[in-house]
Amino acid sequence: MTGIFGKLKFINSLLEINRQNMLEVKNIKANKDAYCEALKKRNFDAKEIFDDILRLDEERRSTQVQLDEILSQSNNLSKQIGQLFKEGETEKANQLKEKTTQLKDDSKVLSQQMSEISEDLQELLYQVPNVPHDSVPAGQDEEDNVEIFKEGKVPELSKKALPHWELAKKYDLIDFELGNKITGAGFPVFKGKGARLQRALISYFLDKNTEAGYSELQVPLLVNEESGYGTGQLPDKEGQMYHVTGDDLYLIPTSEVPLTNIYRNDLLEEKKLPIQMTTYTPCFRREAGSYGAHVRGLNRLHQFDKVELVNVVKPENSYKVLDEMVEHVKGILKELKLPYRILRLCGGDLGFTSALTYDFELYSTAQERWLEISSVSNFETFQANRLKIRYKNKDKKKELVHTLNGSSLALPRVIAGLLENCQTDEGIKIPEVLVPYTGFEWIK
């Protein structure tokens, strides 16, 4: 890749020393001012929370020193007691045993304090978002995202052109009212050629991904709390996740969560990297409801299908892999012949766990607006640090991996854009690349 994407690896190499394992306490301590300044891009004031983190870390270290001293005294006294019993000095030995009992009580108190301090420290660390990459522009929200690429011709539609929710009703493809009856708003029922088109897209996306070297997996749709915390959905997105309270499990908001958690607490062999995974799953999100055309039809759902890419790589390769993922998604959209653009997200719109994200948006001609269909992100060590995913580098030292993920692709808005952009007076013309998967060329 050339141009703006090709520069990223060079940029990252300059920052590698400062960015490695950045949200470990030792790195916060060494780079506090730099991280505070970088996090301002997110409109996140980190000074107070960093001060609290470093204060708790000092308390933890001090408490640990006290605990170690007590344990050392206890061990020494135990040896003395044993020797006194051997020498017949029973009275002296019993006097020392009383001291060891007090030391054990003191150690229990300090151990409890250590546990509480460590929990408080971890809770604070969970509240700190990833430090954005230097190339992330400052900004408040999506209005400040930067368009860096655009491709595809926007078709000229006839005056009879319809938005996708009307096309879905006209050709009996998707029943939103039936989904509302069964479950509620945001849970549509796909029917006939609509269901077949959705299945065709899933198969096509998976085939493209496996052809590119990704291994296909099928993963659980429910995850435990530890998995949610590992990839950063918890506690940040807790209110947006469906929680099965009886079993304390969460419906996945994206298959990134189960895929990345496959390697939680693993020490990987360097020769196994990179690890490339893809899967198809339904996804579930309790996003706050709103009204208007911008959320009508397939524009925003609580249950939707998505094909995902996840990469687990060595740190020095992660921005090259990010470029490759962007090119891969571009190739799919080019084959579908759909107009799209790529945005570099600003700090205010950047996801909690991401260091750098590119959003793909598809142009909806009938709605005259852009629809997000994919996010491709590099999390660097943020998730790996939570998940404790490491590998042994060439020096045999344990090092955190970098993790990346990308939608390839999210189905609802792809279908929305496809229906709208491919409509004609005769019906909806299926993109040529999908015909072998659908078994039909037209929806009439």
Topology annotation, domain 3-126:
Helix Hairpins (1.10.287)
> Can you tell me the mean pLDDT for 415-424?
95
> What global pTM score does this model have?
0.88
The DSSP secondary structure of 357-396, one letter per residue, reads EEEEEEEETTTTEEEEEEEEEEEETHHHHHHT-EEE-TTS
32-48-257-175 Cα dihedral, nearest 10 degrees: -130
Amino acid (one-letter) located at 5: F
Fold agreement (3-126, 142-443): no
Q: Could you tell me the two tokens for 150? A: 């655009």
The DSSP secondary structure of 11-76, one letter per residue, reads HHHHHHHHHTTTTSHHHHHHHHHHHHHHHGGGT---HHHHHHHHHHHHHHHHHHHHHHHHHHHHHH
Taking each helix axis as running N to C, give the angle between helix 192-211 and helix 411-421, from 0 to 180 degrees, rounded to the nearest 10: 110
What digits encode the pLDDT tens for the residues 49-71? 999 999 999 999 999 999 888 88
Tokens 């703006």 sit at which residue? 4
Sequence-separated (6 or more) residues with CB below 8 Å from residue 33: none
DSSP type of residue 159? T
Query: Pairing mode, if any, of strands 390-392 and 267-268?
Result: parallel
What digits encode the pLDDT tens for the residues 152-202? 988 888 888 999 999 999 999 999 999 999 999 999 999 999 999 999 999
Check residue 319 and give its pLDDT: 96
Check residue 79 and give its pLDDT: 76
What digits encode the pLDDT tens for the residues 198-254? 999 999 999 999 999 999 999 999 999 999 999 999 988 888 999 999 999 999 999
Rounded-to-integer distance, Cα 301 and Cα 287, Å: 8
What digits encode the pLDDT tens for the residues 343-361? 999 999 999 999 999 999 9
> Can you tell me the mean pLDDT for 84-93?
75
Residue 193: count other Cβ atoms within 10 Å of its Cβ: 20
Residue 331: count other Cβ atoms within 10 Å of its Cβ: 12
List Cα–Cα distances, 130 to 79, 113, 124, 136, in angstroms. Answer: 49, 29, 13, 12
Helix (H/G/I), strand (E/B), else coil: 192: helix
Is residue 311 a contact partner of residue 403, using CB atoms and an 8 Å limit?
yes
Residue spans per domain, the chain: 3-126, 142-443
Taking each helix axis as running N to C, give the angle between helix 25-39 and helix 47-86, from 0 to 180 degrees, rounded to the nearest 10: 170
Architecture of domain 142-443: 2-Layer Sandwich (3.30)
pLDDT at 7 over 50: no
Check residue 294 and give its pLDDT: 61
Binding residues: 254, 285-287, 308, 372-375, 405
Amino acid (one-letter) located at 42: R
Percent of the chain with pLDDT over 70: 93
233-186-373-377 Cα dihedral, nearest 10 degrees: 0
Higher pLDDT, 8 or 373: 373
Rounded-to-integer distance, Cα 278 and Cα 286, Å: 24
Check residue 22 and give its pLDDT: 66
Binding residues for ATP: 285-287, 372-375
Check residue 20 and give its pLDDT: 55
Check residue 104 and give its pLDDT: 82
pLDDT at 2 over 60: no
Rounded-to-integer distance, Cα 224 and Cα 48, Å: 31
Sequence-separated (6 or more) residues with CB below 8 Å from residue 197: 173, 415, 418, 430, 434, 438, 443
Q: What integer best gives the mean pLDDT of the chain?
A: 90
> Can you tell me the mean pLDDT for 248-262?
97
Higher pLDDT, 137 or 106: 137
Centroid of chain to Cα 390: 18
Q: Work out the pLDDT band at 6, boundaries 50, 70, 90.
A: very low
> Can you tell me the mean pLDDT for 327-338?
96
Check residue 21 and give its pLDDT: 59
Rounded-to-integer distance, Cα 397 and Cα 378, Å: 23
Least confident of 107-116, 338-347, 422-431: 107-116
> Can you tell me the mean pLDDT for 327-337?
97
17-23-29-35 Cα dihedral, nearest 10 degrees: 70
Binding residues for L-serine: 254, 285, 308, 405
pLDDT at 430 over 60: yes
Helix (H/G/I), strand (E/B), else coil: 337: coil
> Can you tell me the mean pLDDT for 364-376?
93
DSSP type of residue 424? -
Check residue 43 and give its pLDDT: 94
Q: Could you tell me the two tokens for 86? A: 């051997």
Burial (CB count within 10 angstroms: exposed 0-12, middle 13-18, buried 19+), residue 239? exposed
Q: Residue length, the chain?
A: 444
